[in-house]
Structure 1
């Protein structure tokens, strides 16, 4: 059994006819009104605010005015007025504001009627159509091209050129096809190019916005993973203490009851199980970046506010003048609060080094009754600021830590001298503070 395979040319013809039916025939007279100019259009930036709502309808007004202009000129062609030509020129152009593809078919039919009426007669200066009808037909094609895909514009140009070639073939008079087709291609091509450029810019803006959002989301996850890695040591320390105390408690009581011994054994087993699960979760967190803290040493303790002097010394060695002021009664805080406060100060000083080189930074720690307050403020840069690839990730990490501890944070430029200020308040429960002692 032999299967007939269509030739490539036949498939191309079928595809072209299918596209023509989809673009110019199916739903040709569907209601597709020309939308007004958007709020981001450049024309709206150059007019007063009160006039901007009306600027959006400027294309509709221009098309309507051009239609009436062509109607007046077409009517004046011929003795006693040429009403049919005026209708052929104006009606399709007006309808293109609401039903663009249908308006093109009306304009195309008007071209057939005008060309047939003029066949064999010398009644127009241009052939096969008068120049007013040519201008109206090009304007209709431009409106349609601004609302449809570029393929539709190509189809309209091909059919228009084909109609002109047909009249050229059946008439003894030479038709002005080439100038008409060239002007049509230039006008419609400019419309298609402008629309494609605008759509490309919109697509790039959408993709850029999505990229920034995805980068922010990824950074947020990285910051949370960093916090999880750091707090692991704090939680693991407490769970280890619970396990050790539960194991040693029965030996501190002479002849402890069996129920008490079993209870302490259960506490120890649960603490050990919790440590195992904690290490497992930490392994998942570290999976993307197992060497994130390779330089810090796996056995190194997490920093606290007591080690801020070392941090200040490193910042001063890097060229930042640091002033440190502590107010209130210094007391031990929960390990999570100590670690987060230290990291916030560290990140604020890093931002000052990066964005305000040569400036002076002031770090204020305020131990108050209900928690601890931090204020890190730096002056304007005194040296050239190098371009930084940062995207505000440091502030994002600070906010994550403060939010985790139910605190409050503000950050912004200092109006007086152009510096930058970070202010944080972290509440501390009285019971948690006593347990940290």
Structure 2
């Protein structure tokens, strides 16, 4: 009983496997066999970058043109070898030529249907070859089968690798049946079957490699996009933390001054004292809410040369001397130039300007060892101009552990303040960062500017 049960279980398993294989074969080769599946043109990323724009647009259709040219050659050569002045033979030659030339071109739009049309051309070529063989060549079964092999390879390259096995089985299964009916042996075409199997397996391997490569490229694109988005969020969190420090400082000053104001005036009216108390309470409440919302982003500063004390005041342009001293002690030769009349700027502007200079010099140390740098700060009427430029490195840079998104952080800071920034390589092999941060003018600054002029 045990052996019988095991045998029945094995037969059921084999039946399920055979049923699954037949179902897959039916889905791949019979269901919607002539469904429209147009082949898209080549992607621009797969074309050489040195091609001109107009040539690149035409080069995208190169595979379509090659297949169409092949179909045209098949038609002309078949007509030339099979045509005869006789009306019957001439009609058959033209019709057979169309039947041979259509499947390669059809693979561009209906690949599975092209396989069936090509297989029918092989069968028809065998029949016509036997009919017209007493009158000479022209309907070559070998030529039809060679074109059928090309069609099968194109179908595999266009669809999926498993179709290589399915088309091979259908083609040579039908060939074995026809050979038996014609009085031959089912093993007559063993060498041809082996050769075709090698060709189709090679095409399937190429298709699988292309599909794997496409998936790798998509994965890398998604990974790069996620990394960029994560870096952007980290940079925004850092900016939010710094803004939290700036706003918290001013709110603390408001609260302290509102608390001390009543004691600076003798006989303060009760209404005024109540107003100052209300101002202080609102300032303390706002400060508490600000720390509750933004205080969570306080973490270790990843920037280079940052102060170790997380509670230290945020740096301004007055702190550039210490920054330049730090980078000079690290081996970077840097020159600082200030143009225009220095004036106090909003703390957020000075903080962002300091961080931009800091990040640019850090990148110089990491990516351009031995190069000299120059920092230019321009106080102009409409805002603040920054330019940090370095020369070409004098030695090979060591691999940097950074994520490579420092420029993204600088651009985020400038855009947050409504400014503009450019960062690109220079002609001499160096790198230049140029930014402009607009600053609104107060009436006192405008009057001072007019008086100076």
- Structure 1 pair 255/144, CA: closer, same or farther in 2 (3 Å)? same
Q: Does the alignment pair 1:367 with 2:379? A: yes
The match for 2:5 is none
Cα distance in 2, alignment partners of residues 85 and 345 from structure 1 = 79
Between stretches 232-241 and 323-332, larger displacement belongs to 323-332
Distance in 2 between residues matched to 1:73 and 1:340, nearest whole Å: 79
1:44–1:52 CA contact under 8 A, matched in 2: no
CA distance in 1, matches of 2:185, 2:163: 28
Asked if 2 retains the 8 angstrom alpha-carbon contact of 1:240 and 1:271, the reply is: yes
Shift of 1:91: 0.5
The 5 Å alignment of 1:380-399 reads 380-390=392-402, 392-399=404-411
Task: Judge conservation of contact 2:67–2:105 (CA < 8 Å) in 1.
Answer: no
Question: What is the match of residue 157 of structure 2?
Answer: 146
- Secondary structure of 1:284 counterpart: helix
Q: Secondary structure at the match of 1:384?
A: coil
Rate the CA distance shift 1:107–1:420 in 2: closer, same or farther, 3 A.
Answer: closer
Judge conservation of contact 1:334–1:433 (CA < 8 Å) in 2: no
SS in 2 for 1:319: coil
1:267 equivalent among 271, 279, 303: 279
Which of 341, 352, 355 is the aligned partner of 1:329? Answer: 341
Unpaired runs of 5+ residues, structure 1, are: 124-128
- Residues 175-218 of structure 1: per-residue CA shift (max 9 Å, x gap): 53212212322332333333333333333222222222221111
For 2:77, the equivalent position in structure 1 comes to 69
Distance 1:82 1:210, change over 3 A: same
Tell me, in whole angstroms, the C-alpha distance in 2 between the residues paired with 1:385 and 1:157: 55
SS in 2 for 1:406: coil
SS at match of 2:105: coil
Alignment-derived partner of residue 29 in structure 1: 34
Q: Indicate the larger mover: 345-354 or 67-76.
A: 67-76
Q: Distance in 2 between matches of 1:364 and 1:48?
A: 39
Report if the CA contact (8 A) 2:44-2:56 is conserved: no
TM-score by length of 2: 0.80
**Deviations, residues 14-41 of structure 1 (Å, cap 9, x unaligned):** 2222222222112223344555555555
Deviations 1:267-317 (A, max 9, x none): 22221122112222234324xx56769971133222222222211111111
- Size of the aligned set, in residue pairs, is 424
Assess if the C-alpha contact under 8 Å between 1:96 and 1:140 holds in 2: yes
- How much does 1:237 deviate? 0.8
Alignment of 1:36-435 (within 5 A): 37=42, 39=44, 53=58, 56=62, 57-70=65-78, 72-73=80-81, 87=95, 90-98=98-106, 99-112=110-123, 130-175=141-186, 176-286=188-298, 296-390=308-402, 392-415=404-427, 417-431=428-442
Deviations 1:80-99 (A, max 9, x none): 95975874565054145234
Report the secondary structure of 2:335's partner residue.
Answer: strand
Listed as ranges, the gaps of 5+ residues in structure 2 are 1-7, 135-139, 446-453
Decide whether the 8 Å contact of 1:90 with 1:136 is kept in 2.
no
1:7 aligns with 2:18: no
Distance in 2 between the 1:291 and 1:395 partners? 17
Q: Is the 8 A contact 1:104 1:137 kept in 2?
A: yes
Change (3 A) 1:132 1:43: farther
SS in 1 for 2:162: helix
Q: Name the SS of the counterpart of 1:341 in structure 2.
A: helix
CA distance in 2, matches of 1:92, 1:35: 24
Q: Check conservation: 1:92, 1:104, Cα contact below 8 A.
A: no
Decide whether aligned partners of structure 1 residues 353 and 21 sit closer, same or farther in structure 2, where only a CA change above 3 A counts: same
Give the Å deviation of 1:243.
0.9
Greater displacement, 252-261 / 172-181: 252-261
* Kept after mapping to 2: 8 A contact 1:89/1:133: no
SS in structure 2 opposite 1:412? Answer: strand
Q: Give, in whole Å, the separation in 2 of the partners of 1:218 and 1:360.
A: 32
TM-score, normalization by structure 1: 0.82
CA contact 2:241–2:295 (8 Å) conserved in 1: no
Q: Contact 2:100/2:144 (CA < 8 Å) preserved in 1? A: no
Q: CA deviation at 1:350?
A: 1.2
Q: Residues 346-379 of structure 1: CA distance to partner in whole angstroms, max 9, x if unpaired?
A: 1121122122222222222233334332222222
Sort the Cα spacing of 1:421 and 1:13 in 2 relative to 1 into closer, same or farther, 3 A.
Answer: same
Q: Does 1:20 align with 2:31?
A: no
Contact 1:363 1:374 survives alignment (8 Å): yes
